A and B are shown apart, each in its own frame.
Chain A
Amino acid sequence: MAVPGASDSIDEATFDQILEMDEDQKEREFSKSIVYDFFTQAESTFGKMNANLEQKDFKMLSELGHFLKGSSATLGLTKVKDSCEKIQHFGNRKDEAGNKTISDDEALSKLRTTIEQAKQEFYDVEKVLKRFYHDEP
């Protein structure tokens, strides 16, 4: 089932797998709770990323990127997942594919922009999902 307006931000097959777990295809109690849990988790993770960006804690930023990558991947939120993977790599002071080593400064500036990008991608998909669960016009 395609989520309206999701275009390339949600992987249909993965998200369908979650929707299939709903006992009631109308109420969608389970998937909704998961998605909303994810909203909370993402908000909190972005908050931590900002704090660690201030402290330039690369290791922590990489871990946070990995953490959010896991759950966004589970939900099939492709764009957020891809950005989180980049954050993970930049935190390891690697380039976005995770191959070449980059300087601290480069890593920091890339982290800053990618975190902002990830946030924007998250807010976009959040809107789409809230509409899907009839919580927003």
Chain B
Amino acid sequence: MLPTSSGHGLSSQQHPPAPLPEPATAAARHQAEPSPSQVEDGSLAYDIFRHTPIPTLVLDSSLVICQVSDSYVAVSGACSREEIVGCHADDIFDQRVTFPTRDSARKAIQTARESKKPYVFEDLLADGTIAWSIRTIPISRHGNLRYFVMEVELEKQVSTNEIFRILVETVKDYAIFMLDPHGNIATWNKGAEVFKGYKREEILGKNFSNFYSQEDRDNDKPGRELAIALRDGRVEDEGWRYRKDGSKFWANVVITPVYRGDTLIGFSKVTRDLTERRAAESRLIAAYEEASKLKSEFLANMSHEIRTPMHGVLAALTLLLDTNLDTEQLELARVIEESGAVLLQVINDILDYSKLASGCFSISDDILSVSDIIQSVFRSFQKGSEPEPILERHLDPSLPKAAGGDSLRYRQIVQNLMSNAIKFTEKGYVRVNATLQEENEETYTILTEVVDTGIGVPATTSKSLFTPFTQFDNSATKRYKGTGLGLSISRSLAELMGGSIGFRPNPEGKGSVFWFTAKLKKVNQLKHLDAIQDNFKALAAEAPMSLFEEMKLVAINKRILLAEDNPINQKVCVKMLAGLGFDNIDLAADGSEAVQMSTKDSPPYDVILMDINMPVLDGVAATKEIRHAGVQTPIVAMTANALKGQAELYISRGMNDYISKPVDRKLLVTALLKCLKRDTPA
């Protein structure tokens, strides 16, 4: 700033009082102080102060305005120079000009006077519309303070704000707007308009919850988000938001509380449209799932390819074992047999698992009896089992006698859990509990538990028990065989049956409890019985129900023994019987086995299918022994010696019926129905 060359003795108050002097009247000032005309037009000072582009005021030491620039007049809101020049500062600040404010002017002048140095202060109008900074320069001559020059730098801050405002308002890729402390919308930008479809004037003052779904509003999600933002200083959310036209978009939202000083003035809300990204993500996920499905299908196909020759190997081995082998050969053959059986189990597990994983596994809908399945699994484990663990079972008497479900898969789970329990239990017991957990109009929920006193499961591994290919015993010296797929298959099967599966430690201390639930459909038993009865009555006349449907109903809970030496015929026959609804089929490989199995205390079978030509003891001799033991179970002879008149022969030897081989399904059904009908209390 140039030093002023004004030589006029302006001040009558060389020693200013601490507070600003009381403003004198304009008239009094005119007499005591120089008039503005004393600054001559054309002088250097005049030119500088009048025409500087920086809005400038020159005050004398008594704070009377003695010069003012045109630029100041233009921005300060004053009407003209003449209105200001010659007036006391107190008369114009806050009244005729908008800035500086009177309080800050006083402070600035006082500070500059005391420090004798230029002093800069920044200020802002109360309504926030204009901000500026003012430099107050004290000018002294010979130690006497003569003038104050005030230079105004206007709207420095405001112009920055303006840039931000324009920036925010024109951004189209983000919706950026302010909410007041109650969540009502206070500002609106272009991006918000594009995203949400509302015009500024439509939405201002409305609550931001308008963008949320009805469900979110019902849960007060918007309110909770504001509360979290206040607590944490920020909240971020991804979810569906709704446009004015009701369509939705996937949004990422960040809400930040905004304070001025310590006062909350509202929230800033920035919304991004992630619909595109989300679509890309779901495409990625779909691609991944497709790849995973292909992998499972490949596994399923491979396992199938491996299994077929494996069956060949095992079948050949079975035949080999029947030949005269010496001790060493027999031992080696047994090793092959055992390893082969394990390998087949592994292959079957992988096949099941990959079928489950590729989603091409379906649950059939037969009629089953939970107690019968458990009893039958039980029997298979009791055979040749060691004295320990003791096998126990507790069947809830309220279990349904017949319900709709997949008996094979139900059996598979029970079998898996039981074989695990027995595998890991050397002492104590393995107990199966089956209870009716829930019953509604359409379904039964059956809870089946397998409790053992075995080695138990450490807490660390209990979480991964049902994960495929994980085994609890992963040590190099594995004591227990298996694929690690059993439980994972069981889990999938239980889920397919509408249930779940789980583990907890045995509450009695040692061991584990594995449980699963399954939903079984209700069948109207009375209705079925009626149907059976009607059917029997109408058997001669064309039955409304097909023979096979009738067979399936009669087969419920029926136990059948098949005595047949040829493994191929066994397999075919078992499959045929299973297809007819029998889920309780036992096998005898020769006549003496058949006698042993069928002559226990209470006759264990409802019907026996007996091949005639068998090694050790043939069918006719076996029948004789069975009848001799007082067992009257119906016996149906099966033979390829299909000669006329033999039916009578076999019946005279104590058999009840006769069918020729190869077994025709229809004839088998007719024969079985004849035998079982007698036992059915009709």
Listed in ascending order, the chain A residues whose CB lies under 8 Å from chain B are 11, 14, 17-18, 21, 27, 29-30, 32-34, 36-41, 43-44, 48, 63, 66-67, 69-71, 73-76, 85
Contact of B567 among A27, A32, A37, A73 (CB under 8 A): A37
Q: With a CB–CB cut-off of 8 A, which chain A residues contact B475?
A: none
Closest to B308 in A: A36
CB distance from A18 to the nearest CB of B (A): 6
Closest to B307 in A: A33
On whether A70 and B319 interact (CB within 8 A), knowing A14-B662, A33-B311, the answer reads: no
Residues 639-656 of chain B: 1 if any A CB is under 8 Å from the residue's CB, otherwise 0?
010000000000000000
Do A71 and B566 touch (CB < 8 A)? yes
Q: With a CB–CB cut-off of 8 A, which chain B residues contact A32?
A: 308
Do A34 and B571 touch (CB < 8 A)? yes
Contact of A74 among B307, B315, B572 (CB under 8 A): B572
Do B312 and A73 touch (CB < 8 A)? no
Do A36 and B312 touch (CB < 8 A)? yes
Closest to B579 in A: A21
Q: A33-B307, A43-B316, A48-B323 are in contact. List 6 more A-B contacts (CB 8 A).
A: A17-B576, A17-B665, A36-B308, A36-B312, A40-B312, A73-B640
On whether A30 and B575 interact (CB within 8 A), knowing A36-B312, A39-B312, A71-B569, the answer reads: yes
Q: Decide yes or no whether B661 CB sits under 8 A from chain A.
A: yes
Q: With a CB–CB cut-off of 8 A, which chain A residues contact B579?
A: 21
Main secondary structure of the interface of B (DSSP, over half): helix
Query: Which 4 interchain pairs have the tightest Cβ spacing?
Result: A71-B568, A73-B662, A70-B566, A44-B319
Q: Given the complex of chains A and B, what is the CA–CA distance between A14 and B611 in angstroms?
A: 18
Q: With a CB–CB cut-off of 8 A, which chain A residues contact B308?
A: 32-33, 36
CB distance from B661 to the nearest CB of A (A): 5
Q: With a CB–CB cut-off of 8 A, which chain B residues contact A36?
A: 308-309, 311-312
Q: Given the complex of chains A and B, what is the CA–CA distance between A32 and B304 in angstroms?
A: 11
Q: With a CB–CB cut-off of 8 A, which chain A residues contact B140?
A: none
Q: Given the complex of chains A and B, what is the CA–CA distance between A67 and B570 in angstroms?
A: 12
On whether A74 and B311 interact (CB within 8 A), knowing A21-B576, A44-B319, A69-B640, the answer reads: no
Q: Please report which residues of chain B, range 306-328, place their CB below 8 angstroms from some CB of chain A when the two chains form the complex.
A: 307-309, 311-312, 315-316, 319-320, 323
Q: Given the complex of chains A and B, what is the CA–CA distance between A76 and B572 in angstroms?
A: 12
Q: Given the complex of chains A and B, what is the CA–CA distance between A17 and B567 in angstroms?
A: 18
Q: Decide yes or no whether B621 CB sits under 8 A from chain A.
A: no
Contact of B571 among A14, A37, A40, A63 (CB under 8 A): A37
Q: With a CB–CB cut-off of 8 A, which chain A residues contact B613?
A: 66, 70
Closest to A15 in B: B662
Q: Given the complex of chains A and B, what is the CA–CA distance between A21 and B580 in angstroms?
A: 11
CB distance from B47 to the nearest CB of A (A): 104
Do A41 and B661 touch (CB < 8 A)? no
Closest to A32 in B: B308
Most buried by B among A17, A32, A71: A71
Q: Please report which residues of chain B, range 554-607, place their CB below 8 angstroms from some CB of chain A when the two chains form the complex.
A: 565-569, 571-572, 575-576, 579
Q: With a CB–CB cut-off of 8 A, which chain A residues contact B568?
A: 34, 37-38, 41, 70-71, 74-75
Q: Given the complex of chains A and B, what is the CA–CA distance between A14 and B640 in angstroms?
A: 14
CB distance from B637 to the nearest CB of A (A): 14
Q: With a CB–CB cut-off of 8 A, which chain B residues contact A38?
A: 568
Contact of B661 among A29, A43, A70 (CB under 8 A): A70
Do A37 and B315 touch (CB < 8 A)? yes
Q: With a CB–CB cut-off of 8 A, which chain A residues contact B567?
A: 37, 41
Do A74 and B319 touch (CB < 8 A)? no
